[in-house]
Structure 1
């Protein structure tokens, strides 16, 4: 087939990692000279450029209008339409401003999926070194095609998926793709067909970075067909879920709409058929009732409360990119966490050393050389530490602030640190020769000359490879025969603890150079047990999450043994028989089978991006509200799918940050615990605010309803209704957003994600409070008129009664589950005092400022005119406390009945 007539499928190779390099060359019709320029151009026409496709973008105007597609916004727009019909244009523009501001905030916050895809596209290499027509040349990475031969050097970003054809100590940093905390060593040989991405040593993947060595490979996939391209497709297909708060507000809005329409219909029937009111007058009164009943301040209240929560979470190193995620954290039932860098420090640390003489434990974490080796060692330990120091290419830099930064590979950094802890750093020794690390040999060697002129070959590497080349071991009295059984037992013991095991050996020599052939008849010195240590604060945070009824699951690219050992140490699981599900086992399961076991498994190992999404979906199918953490681009699809995506701010990729709702500024799991606590507090306060706000509308609508039903003079005009709504929403409602957390907030189980934000019992409570405040307002209005005051003065007293009644009720709402008859009601939240002061000042302006008298039809009040509203407000406070006490007594009776029933 001519290349010019070819299609993209003609250049697709299935499982190239499981084929030999020669088989891949033959399948892609290429050789060691690479493609000709004409052939490459023809293939480029067939497969397209090596770029990730741009997502289909929704027009900005449509995205903006989508923020009006909300039940509460419908109510708000309905109120504005009613105001326009009534000709109250001031009220109309105020209500419309609230709706537009809400939409603008949502519009600015949105777009995470599109930005995530843009972040992934930004990971691709800009250019590549390819062999074209027998010569090496630098070309744009976008021009690469399957069959191109590409060369890799340290620091290069791999430009496409490559089947490696030659390697020289090639190691590639693949953490962003696989989650592995150390660079992956590459080799030319084929691997198993069922090997996961992290085990495909014969491949180099687009977007990863060459950390050491050199190599070359044949391009097997470009653009959307690469592994990173598949992840982009997963991000686009993952879909996002509505948050629990969004669901609850929608449910609440629907119920509220039905209640308002139902009551309006009843009022019209009563007015028409009981009092035979004229139809135009009845319609006008009904519209006034609907305006009074609609809580137009609720969307703004929710938005502002969440915005305040965003600011407070930012102070705790949790940066929120999407407002509803603040509250969604409070309903999380399961946290799926990456291991490296989140639960652990992502700083390799030597924890244990074994010599033929003794076993040594090492304290301290990470790259800070502060720590001790116990017990204090002798000559056996000194030889082991000398290899850690001198057979090493890494070094540590201390910053002015006292922190330490590694320059080099994490494993070598860990060895350098343990040498510093043991005081074994020797700046006088001189390196004469080196055998670089090679994945084929799995060891590194240096030829070192001491100040006295003696020379030795120092070797570090895989224990099995060094044992094969060793003849003796360093004992207490010098050299002794090698004890293979002892070392195999020590290796198994360290591996069972989840430690990465490296070995050290040495050989005295007088040679002037060193080669692989010289590395025989070595003296075996000992072992290092290396681990990426758990964050101490993460261990405590996991315990707190368990106490709060939140499951924590670790999903990692590490091997099952390492994952289980770390999870035991962190308190995620207990015992050696805790279930671990590997990517290969998960691959063999259907989604239904996974859903049956997903809640019982807390450790997942050797996972791929597809596996992470499947785990999240399985948990969600069981009713779990899932928070997912991640830092690599491989985590972006699962973060998009999760109820709350949490990205690492320090070590996370841009794609991951853009896919997440929350970014951790300190990459610390303990911050997630704090954010969940903050989310619960915010939800509590939001609920308090809604329960507080609704009686304002309930009392106002009740006053109008009673007036219509009994044929009385309206105690409030529509513009006065708007004033009360505005003044209480702007002052008192926001005060509850600053309430501190309730006692024991992290010792209670997560709330259910369904239902309404205000349940049936709270709605009944709201109606009773509405009756109290509405009844008090009618009483004040009636008493004022009966005493001979003008209608305007009586209405001003009624408005004052509503405002002061809400202020009294605010104190009741501070403690919904306990009594407010305590001095604590005046402490702990300075916003309460300031908002109360603001309300009183605004009410004084309302009553005494001439322009307000003209605008709202108010009149100045005498001292007597204030006494009645104040007295009734105190009575409301006490009456509500009685209602709260009755609720608490009912809750205790229900709990007792449940206890006896279960017994």
Structure 2
């Protein structure tokens, strides 16, 4: 919703675009309603005007159209052409294999795309089915779809809110807005209006659809329903955001176009040359061109890519990263910027006491034992004061203390109160016994108006009562007259305490002041303004601490050339403090969503590049940040767990959702889900993504020389006026059986040593770097020369054509086997122990292919199908001698390239 003052006339009531800026009475007047709710006669006209309170269903493509779109790729279309040509040639089995590969790829894409479109349905499921309202001045429970502007909704603990509501009464009301804002703790609510510029997380007088009441009670008037709600805006944004294609898919599309141009050009040139130079018939040259096309198309490439990605999915699953969209596995390896949520991803999502300010100074709290360290160089914290503090936070708390089936004490409730009880328990306070000995006599719940909580209890001596107070330092400290010390009370220097509180807050700590007052005659809690003359016990600093493994993971990401940016719904100072601890930026404050909202696209783009911590960010601004980074050529991974994250997750190159604490909407919009909600898992996933990309490039760099060699064999043979050295059926055997089997072993290659020491690859970089492309051409020429030399020698010795072709095929396969070893490393040498033994599946693949070639050569049925003849030992030895040096050729090229690189 835009925060401005435009008004319009709807169904006889005045509508407003900034309800949070109006006084509660003004809202009631504008909506022509009252605290007793609408009259029944007002409901029908409003339902007719505004419609039912349901999220609209966005039109989706039909299943058939989604399926057809999976084949809108030139490489896939080339494979379809290959299947048709192969079928025309009468090789129906090979045609069926190619068609199966095409179909499997299409089905996988169809399923994954269908899952992604479920994100909108997940958001619709956030709305509660029923709502409690006051109509005709009486309480009623209605279907939430029947809510209309002007309805008075009653809010109680556990209530799921189904419309945007302007609060008119509150009593200790707190609402969990994390799904919409990313705020790590429930937001306390009040009825006072706020400024027009306030972000959703700071609109204390509003309750939004899709959020949950955690404590207290209140009532409010419905101001927006259905698509006009803040949640509806996220839904509309999500439906309009286009998913970004992955670098691998873009690279494969470019490769497909180039291959198509080269193959068609080479086929046409060869056919024309044969007809014009050697006088071959048109039919003969047409068949030769068909054979060349079949030879040049890497039919097994999609299968290799799909299988390599699928193996990566399995490895990532073992590392707690669940992949929902197959190509996203490889995209991780290209990520240059990671935009991470804070709560639960970079932090533990568990509030913990980290500092206590007492009369003798500031005490740090041990992360594991929760014991207090000495203040500066002084003595440890006075036990009497620590005990008083611990007792106060146990009594002045609504957190539940209970025993489980094994008799162990457990606490639950508000995260900050739970943290305080854990601290008190670590100071040897018996939680249940203390509460039993001092039952609550009266209480004043926390409210954002007075900003503190107070409880009244019996004293230890049974005479009189003691008042415990807990709340914001700026609300509690001014009500104190003295501070508790070792020897009793001491004068309070209010200004000094406020200075120290500001220093603690600058470290990102959320502060609570703890005070008490002995009241022999009791205290009237009906009037908070009369609570005064308290004794300050101390200030407690609480924070959601960063994960230790996240600190190491952020460092690894920086070393790998990736930038990490924190985008959170938390406060700017808290976000910046956590960022400094993690090594993300060094700003005193994060850049706020309000500041970003006011920027144009150019200014926001500069800000996104220069800064690393962004706080109080709305869904729209998160989306703009991702788009700004992408416009600079960055490959962006976005993490999130709330509905507010869904548009940015969908737009990013890799959306990463939280599996443990996230919402269904975030998970459905993302490509990857973290089962452990841990940033360190993202770093591990990026590592795996780089390995997968390397292995795909290795597979392609292995396949292409074989395809190029087969095509060149046919071109040279036609230009020289010879018989074809390899038949189309033999070409398919090499492409679909030997090459694919050998290339598949490269999918299991372990990571190279420098995989996380390189900078992320550029999205505009070619799939096959020029240096490797040169190697491919050199290897292909060597394969052609060796194979043709043996083919020509066999014919010159008077061997039958079928025997010469059999030797040519086996020589080509031996070239592949030796080249496979060199292909295991893109840049480093393999003539060492790890290069020859580091991947057992390479040897398994070679054993399978050797067996297959023996069957191809000697089994009578195969001799009939592929027109082969048996070879003698001398022919095999000759083929080995000719093909083996290809290892030295490939390794020599690597060595030369390394020398050139070092010389630079």
Return the TM-score normalized by structure 2. 0.95
Which secondary structure state, in structure 2, belongs to the residue aligned with residue 339 of structure 1?
coil
Match of 1:371 in 2: 370
Say whether 1:40 aligns with 2:43: yes
User: Which of 717, 738, 750 is matched with 1:740 structurally?
Assistant: 750
Kindly tell me: are residues 405 and 83 of structure 1, through their superposed partners in 2, closer, same or farther at Cα, counting changes over 3 Å? farther
Match of 2:662 in 1: 652
2-side partners of 1:831 and 1:9: how far apart? 75
1-side partners of 2:485 and 2:81: how far apart? 88
Residues 472 and 480 of structure 1 are in contact (CA less than 8 Å); yes or no, is this contact kept in structure 2? Answer: yes
Say whether 1:502 aligns with 2:512: yes
Structure 1 unaligned residues grouped into runs of 5+: 896-903
2-side partners of 1:452 and 1:700: how far apart? 98
User: Which of 408, 432, 440 is matched with 1:432 structurally?
Assistant: 440
Say whether 1:360 aligns with 2:359: no
Say whether 1:673 aligns with 2:683: yes
Which secondary structure state, in structure 2, belongs to the residue aligned with residue 645 of structure 1?
strand
Kindly tell me: are residues 402 and 350 of structure 1, through their superposed partners in 2, closer, same or farther at Cα, counting changes over 3 Å? farther
Which secondary structure state, in structure 1, belongs to the residue aligned with residue 117 of structure 2?
helix
User: Which of 649, 653, 659 is matched with 1:643 structurally?
Assistant: 653
Deviation at 1:452, TM superposition (A): 4.5
Q: Deviations over 1:637-656 (max 9, x none)?
A: 11011111110110110000
Deviation at 1:496, TM superposition (A): 1.1
Kindly tell me: are residues 236 and 92 of structure 1, through their superposed partners in 2, closer, same or farther at Cα, counting changes over 3 Å? same
Structure 1 residues 747-762: aligned runs within 5 Å? 747-762=757-772
Match of 2:3 in 1: none
Deviation at 1:399, TM superposition (A): 8.1
1-side partners of 2:167 and 2:640: how far apart? 29
Residues 185 and 439 of structure 1 are in contact (CA less than 8 Å); yes or no, is this contact kept in structure 2? Answer: yes
Kindly tell me: are residues 254 and 109 of structure 1, through their superposed partners in 2, closer, same or farther at Cα, counting changes over 3 Å? same
Which secondary structure state, in structure 1, belongs to the residue aligned with residue 345 of structure 2?
helix
Deviation at 1:861, TM superposition (A): 3.0
Which secondary structure state, in structure 1, belongs to the residue aligned with residue 439 of structure 2?
strand
List structure 1 segments (4+ residues) > 6 angstroms apart after TM superposition.
396-405
Residues 332 and 750 of structure 1 are in contact (CA less than 8 Å); yes or no, is this contact kept in structure 2? Answer: yes
2-side partners of 1:384 and 1:214: how far apart? 29
2-side partners of 1:840 and 1:38: how far apart? 86
Residues 169 and 220 of structure 2 are in contact (CA less than 8 Å); yes or no, is this contact kept in structure 1? Answer: yes
Deviation at 1:516, TM superposition (A): 4.9
1-side partners of 2:661 and 2:860: how far apart? 61
Q: Deviations over 1:440-486 (max 9, x none)?
A: 22212222335543542221111122122212111232112221122
1-side partners of 2:283 and 2:410: how far apart? 79
Residues 432 and 513 of structure 1 are in contact (CA less than 8 Å); yes or no, is this contact kept in structure 2? Answer: no
Say whether 1:534 aligns with 2:543: no
Which secondary structure state, in structure 2, belongs to the residue aligned with residue 437 of structure 1?
coil
Deviation at 1:398, TM superposition (A): 8.6
2-side partners of 1:184 and 1:404: how far apart? 28
Residues 159 and 213 of structure 2 are in contact (CA less than 8 Å); yes or no, is this contact kept in structure 1? Answer: yes
Bigger mean CA deviation after superposition, 466-475 or 547-556: 466-475
Residues 29 and 147 of structure 1 are in contact (CA less than 8 Å); yes or no, is this contact kept in structure 2? Answer: yes
Kindly tell me: are residues 266 and 10 of structure 1, through their superposed partners in 2, closer, same or farther at Cα, counting changes over 3 Å? farther
Match of 1:555 in 2: 567
User: Which of 194, 199, 209 is matched with 2:197 structurally?
Assistant: 194
Kindly tell me: are residues 278 and 222 of structure 1, through their superposed partners in 2, closer, same or farther at Cα, counting changes over 3 Å? same
Say whether 1:268 aligns with 2:271: yes
User: Which of 376, 385, 404 is matched with 1:380 structurally?
Assistant: 385
Residues 585 and 611 of structure 2 are in contact (CA less than 8 Å); yes or no, is this contact kept in structure 1? Answer: no
Residues 13 and 30 of structure 2 are in contact (CA less than 8 Å); yes or no, is this contact kept in structure 1? Answer: no
Structure 1 residues 167-206: aligned runs within 5 Å? 167-206=170-209
Q: Deviations over 1:101-125 (max 9, x none)?
A: 1101111111354211111001011
Structure 1 residues 453-492: aligned runs within 5 Å? 453=462, 455-492=465-502
User: Which of 273, 289, 292 is matched with 1:289 structurally?
Assistant: 292
Q: Deviations over 1:472-511 (max 9, x none)?
A: 1112321122211221111111111111110111112345
Kindly tell me: are residues 186 and 94 of structure 1, through their superposed partners in 2, closer, same or farther at Cα, counting changes over 3 Å? same
Say whether 1:851 aligns with 2:885: no
Bigger mean CA deviation after superposition, 509-518 or 19-28: 509-518
Number of matched residues?
884
Match of 1:73 in 2: 76
Match of 1:545 in 2: 557
Deviation at 1:534, TM superposition (A): 0.6
Which secondary structure state, in structure 2, belongs to the residue aligned with residue 210 of structure 1?
strand
2-side partners of 1:8 and 1:318: how far apart? 50
Which secondary structure state, in structure 2, belongs to the residue aligned with residue 533 of structure 1?
coil
Please report the RMSD computed on the Cα atoms of aligned residues, expressed in angstroms: 2.1
2-side partners of 1:404 and 1:581: how far apart? 42
Bigger mean CA deviation after superposition, 774-783 or 534-543: 774-783
Residues 162 and 203 of structure 1 are in contact (CA less than 8 Å); yes or no, is this contact kept in structure 2? Answer: yes
Match of 1:127 in 2: 130
Deviation at 1:51, TM superposition (A): 0.5
Bigger mean CA deviation after superposition, 703-712 or 819-828: 819-828
User: Which of 576, 591, 610 is matched with 1:564 structurally?
Assistant: 576
2-side partners of 1:325 and 1:562: how far apart? 32
Match of 2:148 in 1: 145
Kindly tell me: are residues 592 and 714 of structure 1, through their superposed partners in 2, closer, same or farther at Cα, counting changes over 3 Å? same
Which secondary structure state, in structure 1, belongs to the residue aligned with residue 54 of structure 2?
coil
Q: Deviations over 1:297-321 (max 9, x none)?
A: 1111111111111111111111111
Which secondary structure state, in structure 1, belongs to the residue aligned with residue 298 of structure 2?
coil
Structure 1 residues 18-167: aligned runs within 5 Å? 18-167=21-170
Residues 357 and 380 of structure 1 are in contact (CA less than 8 Å); yes or no, is this contact kept in structure 2? Answer: no
2-side partners of 1:516 and 1:464: how far apart? 21
Q: Deviations over 1:64-109 (max 9, x none)?
A: 1101001210211121232234343333222111111110111111
User: Which of 512, 515, 530 is matched with 2:525 structurally?
Assistant: 515
2-side partners of 1:402 and 1:615: how far apart? 50
Structure 2 unaligned residues grouped into runs of 5+: 1-7, 375-379
1-side partners of 2:72 and 2:742: how far apart? 28
Deviation at 1:402, TM superposition (A): 13
1-side partners of 2:227 and 2:705: how far apart? 56
Which secondary structure state, in structure 2, belongs to the residue aligned with residue 473 of structure 1?
strand
1-side partners of 2:405 and 2:655: how far apart? 35
Say whether 1:443 aligns with 2:446: no
Bigger mean CA deviation after superposition, 455-464 or 296-305: 455-464
Match of 2:396 in 1: 391
Which secondary structure state, in structure 2, belongs to the residue aligned with residue 480 of structure 1?
strand
Deviation at 1:404, TM superposition (A): 9.7
Say whether 1:415 aligns with 2:420: yes
2-side partners of 1:324 and 1:193: how far apart? 43
Residues 431 and 446 of structure 1 are in contact (CA less than 8 Å); yes or no, is this contact kept in structure 2? Answer: no
Kindly tell me: are residues 580 and 883 of structure 1, through their superposed partners in 2, closer, same or farther at Cα, counting changes over 3 Å? same
2-side partners of 1:474 and 1:71: how far apart? 78
User: Which of 220, 227, 231 is matched with 1:228 structurally?
Assistant: 231
2-side partners of 1:190 and 1:549: how far apart? 46
Which secondary structure state, in structure 1, belongs to the residue aligned with residue 484 of structure 2?
strand
Match of 2:843 in 1: 833
Return the TM-score normalized by structure 1. 0.95
Bigger mean CA deviation after superposition, 236-245 or 683-692: 236-245
